[in-house]
Amino acid sequence: MKRTSTTSPWLWVAAAGVVAVLVIFACRPAPEGERRAVMTGGAVAAAETTYVPPGDLDKYYLFYSGGHSGQIYVAGIPSMRHISTIPVFSPYPATGYGFDDETREMLGGLAWGDVHHPTLSRTGAVYDGRWLFANDNAHSRIARISLRDFKTKQIIGPIPNLSGNHGSAFATSDTEMLLYASRFSVPIPIGTYAPIDDYATEFNGVVGAVNVDPETGEMSLGFQILTPPFNWDLGSTGRGPSKDWALWTCYNSERATGELEKTASANDRDYAIAVNWRAAAQAVADGKATQVGGVDVLDPKDVPGIAYLIPVAKSPHGVDFTPDGTRFVTSGKLEAITTVYSFDKMLAAIQAEDFSGEEDGLKVLDYDSVMEREVQIGLGPLHTQYDDQGMAYTSLFIDSAIAKWNPETGEVLDTVPVAYNIGHLMVPGGDSAKPWGQYVIALNKLSHGRHLNVGPSQPESSQLIDITGEKMRLLYDAFTEPEPHYAQAIPADMLHPIEVYSKEENHDPWAIWDVTEAGVTRSGNRVDVKMAAVRSSFWPNRIEVKKGDEVAIHITNIEQTTDELHGLGISDYNINLVVDPGETKHVTFTAKNSGVFAYYCTNFCSALHQEMQGYLLVE
Ligand code: RUQ
Ligand code: CUA
**Distance between Cα 100 and ligand 2 center (Å):** 18
φ/ψ (deg, to 5) at 411: -75, 130
Nearest atom within ligand 2 for CA of residue 535: 1
**Distance between Cα 288 and ligand 1 center (Å):** 34
**Distance between Cα 240 and ligand 1 center (Å):** 25
Ligand 1 neighbourhood includes 116 CB (under 6 angstroms):
yes
**Distance between Cα 273 and ligand 2 center (Å):** 54
pLDDT for 15 equals 44
pLDDT for 22 equals 43
In sequence order, which residues have a C-beta less than 8 Å from that of residue 215 and are 6 or more positions away? none
Give the sheet arrangement for strand 355-359, strand by strand.
Answer: 231-237, 245-251, 269-276, 307-313, 362-365, 355-359
CA 123 to CA 132: how far, in whole Å?
13
| pLDDT digit string, tens, across residues 165-187 | 999 999 999 999 999 999 999 99
Segments in the chain below pLDDT 70: 1-41
pLDDT for 334 equals 83
> Coil, strand or helix: which one is 486?
coil
pLDDT for 248 equals 98
Contact at 8 Å (CB) between 559 and 535?
A: yes
Q: Which ligand is nearest to the CA of 67?
A: 1
Contact at 8 Å (CB) between 383 and 318?
A: yes
Q: Which ligand is nearest to the CA of 138?
A: 1
Contact at 8 Å (CB) between 325 and 332?
A: no
CA 61 to CA 127: how far, in whole Å?
12
Ligand 2 neighbourhood includes 51 CB (under 6 angstroms):
no
Length of the chain: 619
Residue with CA nearest ligand 1 atom 3 = 116
Contact at 8 Å (CB) between 445 and 422?
A: yes
Contact at 8 Å (CB) between 243 and 172?
A: yes
Contact at 8 Å (CB) between 298 and 224?
A: yes
CA 15 to CA 7: how far, in whole Å?
11
Ligand 2 neighbourhood includes 603 CB (under 6 angstroms):
yes
Q: Which ligand is nearest to the CA of 536?
A: 2
Give the sheet arrangement for strand 412-417, strand by strand.
Answer: 381-386, 392-396, 401-405, 412-417
CA 407 to CA 409: how far, in whole Å?
6
Contact at 8 Å (CB) between 584 and 568?
A: no
Q: Which ligand is nearest to the CA of 611?
A: 2
Nearest atom within ligand 1 for CA of residue 485: 4
CA 427 to CA 435: how far, in whole Å?
7
Nearest atom within ligand 2 for CA of residue 564: 1
Provide the β-strand partners of residue 611: none
Element containing residue 15 per DSSP (H, E): helix 9-26
pLDDT for 266 equals 79
CA 70 to CA 485: how far, in whole Å?
12
Ligand 2 neighbourhood includes 555 CB (under 6 angstroms):
no
Residue 360 falls in which region: left (phi positive, over 0), alpha (psi -120 to 50) or beta: left
Q: Which residues of 66-89 are buried (b: 16+ CB within 10 A; e: fewer)?
A: bbbbbbbbbbbbbbbebeebbbbb
Nearest atom within ligand 2 for CA of residue 604: 2
pLDDT for 41 equals 57
Q: Which ligand is nearest to the CA of 421?
A: 1
**Distance between Cα 536 and ligand 1 center (Å):** 47
**Distance between Cα 409 and ligand 2 center (Å):** 61
CA 518 to CA 542: how far, in whole Å?
11
In sequence order, which residues have a C-beta less than 8 Å from that of residue 409 and are 6 or more positions away? none
Residue with CA nearest ligand 2 atom 1 = 566
Nearest atom within ligand 1 for CA of residue 424: 2
pLDDT for 462 equals 97
pLDDT for 9 equals 39
Nearest atom within ligand 1 for CA of residue 383: 5
CA geometry: angle at 242 spanning 236 and 247, to 5°?
A: 30
Contact at 8 Å (CB) between 491 and 505?
A: no
